[in-house]
């Protein structure tokens, strides 16, 4: 086995785990053990991949030994490997958390195999270098997420799932249509090959239409304004372990695809595409945070904050300078860890009070000091208080904005940050500081958990909170990694060279484009 074989591991390992889980579906202990072991394996393979990519540069695997652009190419560059590593970390945390929070009925219906299927789709989407293959991984991921969302069949789960499924199917249809058009126009779906062909594509109008189709398709998955409303309608309904992994990873696959498309493929008309992205980024931030302020349930508030923070990630992409893109990468790293953790903590709160409504809960600062600490760290990080990870992420983005002299978006980012702080303080004061409300006392039923059960709930939350603090403390190395990632993203020729070492196929003049700031 050579180094390139490692590229396939984040896809093959979840598949292998899923096979073992399917063959042992009857035994609940086996499901739990294999699920956690498989997730640990994924985390380790992702770490290996990240280390190799950092050492050797872009790793390319031509599946089936068919040369690009004819076969399916898997590409692991810095961005891909960082995303896969984060996915591995999240699934590890969530698998452990699910041991004590997902009931046996759901486990026997296939919770663990579905999580592995979801991860296979997510990792596949991060690693593929082919647009149609990306579509296939999206579908793998969505099919798994449809079932996970409805698993258990509670009434409100189904209600949320209808909106989720409908919107995602529409965006898949748009995505597929866009793939059809781009294939008709260029005759290739390999991303590196496309990047070459789109550079010198004669008809600028077609490229603009294509970029907008992909913007709608990926934008819906990423939940940007005005295509986000499926997200707050569905994320609070499934079991917490499921919504945590959704919150951490699914929209980020959309963001990843947006970054890939708008750093590699559609970079010819920055004036139009990236200015539109900037507008979308601003509106996404503001609407998301305003939506969150109107909510009174922990997971609903957090869901709207996902939308708001997608705005920050798109902002860095839209500014399209190395610093701003580094900010986006840093923000994604920070966001996935913190957001998943907040959902996990919200889940522990909900388990205690059997509700997430802020007017029915309280007193957690006194009754659960560890939980309070972990929540405080994550929430303050989300709001961007130094020295936690969110501060450096936002600082980088804002510096990028100032450098590019786009002051409106900087102001929006700062105001939204303040409103995020307000919203986090609301959860803090209501759930943690306020005494337990009178009517809640009667129906509070603190579930008595074994020591192992508590460890499974608190362990992942503490782990992720320490990662947040770690990113803050180690901001220098993380920033260097983000910067290297951003530079690699902007160096399209390196990507193309790695995938197509023998040069372009067909008649394409080798144009080296000057980057222009939008």
Partner 1 sequence: MDSVILKTAIRFLLPLLLLASVFLFLRGHNEPGGGFVGGLLASGAIALYAMTHSAAAARQVVRVPPRFLIGAGLLFALVSGVAPLFFGRPFLTGLWTTITTEGLGKLHIGTPLLFDLGVYCVVTGVTLVFVFSLLEE
Binding residues for partner 1 (CB under 8 A):
1-2, 4-5, 8, 12, 15-16, 18-20, 22-23, 25, 61-65, 74
Angle formed by the axes of helices 407-427 and 298-319, to 10°? Answer: 160
| Pair 289, 305: CB distance under 8 Å | yes
**108 vs 493 by CB, closer to partner 1:** 108
C-beta closer to partner 1: residue 139 or 403: 139
Q: Which of 160, 156, 133 is nearest to 145 (CA)?
A: 160
State which H helix or E strand residue 24 sits in.
Answer: none
Q: How far is CA 112 from CA 17, 25, 95, 166, in A?
A: 9, 9, 8, 25
Q: Are 311 and 397 in contact (CB under 8 A)?
A: no
Report in angstroms how near the CB of residue 459 gets to partner 1 at its nearest.
30
Residue whose CB is less far from partner 1, 61 or 281: 61
Nearer to partner 1, 3 or 216 (CB): 3
Helix, strand and coil percent figures for the chain, each rounded to 5: 80, 5, 20
Rg value, the chain, Cα:
22
358: its two tokens: 């802020």
Omega cis (within 30) before 51: no
CB count in 10 Å sphere of residue 192: 26
Please, what is the minimum distance in Å from the beta carbon of residue 19 to partner 1? Answer: 5
Contact 281, 413 (CB under 8 A): no
For partner 1, the closer CB: 15 or 176 = 15
For partner 1, the closer of residues 24 and 268 by Cβ is: 24
Please say which residue, 150 or 321, places its beta carbon nearer to partner 1: 150
Residue 252 CB, shortest distance to partner 1, in Å, is 25
In the complex, the smallest distance separating the C-beta of residue 223 from partner 1, rounded to whole angstroms, is: 30
Q: Which is nearer to partner 1, 20 or 161 (CB)?
A: 20
Q: How far apart are the first and last CA of the chain?
A: 45
Distance CA 256, CA 336 (A): 12
Strand partners, 76: 59
Beta bridge partners of 60: 75
Cβ 63 to partner 1, closest distance in Å? 5
Tokens of 256: 């990843």
Q: Taking the CB of residue 260, how many other CB atoms lie within 10 A of it?
A: 25
- Please compute, for residue 496, the number of CA atoms within 13 A of its CA located in the half-sphere on the CB side: 22
Closest CB 264 distance from partner 1, rounded Å? 23
| Residue among 192, 198, 193 nearest 211 (CA) | 198
CB of 379 to partner 1, least distance (A): 41
The closest alpha carbon to 99, from 44, 18, 35, belongs to 35
CB of 1 to partner 1, least distance (A): 5
Q: Which is nearer to partner 1, 62 or 208 (CB)?
A: 62
Smallest separation, CB 234 to partner 1 (Å): 25
Nearer to partner 1, 69 or 356 (CB): 69
Q: Minimal CA–CA distance to 438: which of 356, 348, 349, 363? A: 363
Asked if 115 and 94 touch (Cβ cutoff 8 Å), the reply is yes
In the numeric block, which tokens belong to residue 412?
A: 């929006």
Tell the smallest beta-carbon distance from residue 58 to partner 1 (Å).
16
- Between residues 24 and 355, which has the closer beta carbon with respect to partner 1? 24
> What is the C-alpha to C-alpha distance for residues 98 and 316, in angstroms, rounded to an integer?
34
Q: Is residue 292 a contact partner of residue 423, using CB atoms and an 8 Å limit?
A: yes
CB of 81 to partner 1, least distance (A): 17
Q: Kindly state the smallest distance separating residue 505's Cβ from partner 1, in Å.
A: 19
Report the distance separating Cα 155 and Cα 237, nearest Å: 9
Closest CA to 246 of 161, 177, 166, 181: 161
Which residue, 108 or 516, is less far from partner 1 as judged by CB?
A: 108
Q: Which is nearer to partner 1, 13 or 471 (CB)?
A: 13
Q: What are phi and psi of 130, to 5 degrees?
A: -135, 130
**Closest distance of CB 108 from partner 1, Å:** 11
Among candidate residues 69, 48, 67, the one with its CA nearest the CA of residue 2? 48
- Which residue carries 């993380």 as its tokens? 478
């Amino acid at each position: 086995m050579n180094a390139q074989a490692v590229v396939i591991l984040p896809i093959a390992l979840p598949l292998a785990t899923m096979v073992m889980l399917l063959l042992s579906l009857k035994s609940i202990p086996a499901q739990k053990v294999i699920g956690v072991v498989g997730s640990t394996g994924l985390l380790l393979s992702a770490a290996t991949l990240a280390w190799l990519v950092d050492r050797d540069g872009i790793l390319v695997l031509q599946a089936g030994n068919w040369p690009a652009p004819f076969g399916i190419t898997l590409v692991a560059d810095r961005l891909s490997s960082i995303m896969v590593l984060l996915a591995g970390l999240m699934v590890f945390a969530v698998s452990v958390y699910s041991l004590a929070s997902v009931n046996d009925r759901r486990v026997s219906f296939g919770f663990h195999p579905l999580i592995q299927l979801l991860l296979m789709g997510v990792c596949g989407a991060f690693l593929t270098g082919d647009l149609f293959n990306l579509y296939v991984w999206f579908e793998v991921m969505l099919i798994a997420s449809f079932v996970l969302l409805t698993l258990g069949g509670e009434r409100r789960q189904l209600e949320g799932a209808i909106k989720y499924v409908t919107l995602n199917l529409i965006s898949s249809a748009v995505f597929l249509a866009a793939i059809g058009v781009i294939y008709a126009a260029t005759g290739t779906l390999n991303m590196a090959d496309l990047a070459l062909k789109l550079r010198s594509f004669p008809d600028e109008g077609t490229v603009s239409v294509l970029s907008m189709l992909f913007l709608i398709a990926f934008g819906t998955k990423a939940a940007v304004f005005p295509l986000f409303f499926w997200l707050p309608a569905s994320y609070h309904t499934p079991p917490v372990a499921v919504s945590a992994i959704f919150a951490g990873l699914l929209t980020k696959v959309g963001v990843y695809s947006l970054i890939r498309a708008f750093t590699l493929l559609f970079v010819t008309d920055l004036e139009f595409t990236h200015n539109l992205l900037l507008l979308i980024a601003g509106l996404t931030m503001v609407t998301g945070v305003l939506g969150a302020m109107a909510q009174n349930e922990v997971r609903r508030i957090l869901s709207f904050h996902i939308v708001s923070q997608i705005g920050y990630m798109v902002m860095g992409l839209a500014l399209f300078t190395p610093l701003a893109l580094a900010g986006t990468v840093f923000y994604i790293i920070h966001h996935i860890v913190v957001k998943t953790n907040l959902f996990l903590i919200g889940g522990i709160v909900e388990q205690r009070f059997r509700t997430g409504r802020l007017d029915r809960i309280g007193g957690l600062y006194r009754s659960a000091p560890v939980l309070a600490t972990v929540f405080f760290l994550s929430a303050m990080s989300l709001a961007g208080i130094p020295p936690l990870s969110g501060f450096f992420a936002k600082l980088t983005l804002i510096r990028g904005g100032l450098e590019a002299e786009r002051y409106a978006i900087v102001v929006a980012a700062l105001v939204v940050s303040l409103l995020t702080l307000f919203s986090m303080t609301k959860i803090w004061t209501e759930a943690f500081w306020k005494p337990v409300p009178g009517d809640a006392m009667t129906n509070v039923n603190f579930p008595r958990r074994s020591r192992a059960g508590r460890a499974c709930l608190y362990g992942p939350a503490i782990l992720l909170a320490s990662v947040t603090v770690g990113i803050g403390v180690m901001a220098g190395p993380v920033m260097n990694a983000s910067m290297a990632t951003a530079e690699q993203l902007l160096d399209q020729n390196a990507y193309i060279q790695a995938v197509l070492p023998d040069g372009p196929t067909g008649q394409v003049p080798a144009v080296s484009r000057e980057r222009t700031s939008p």
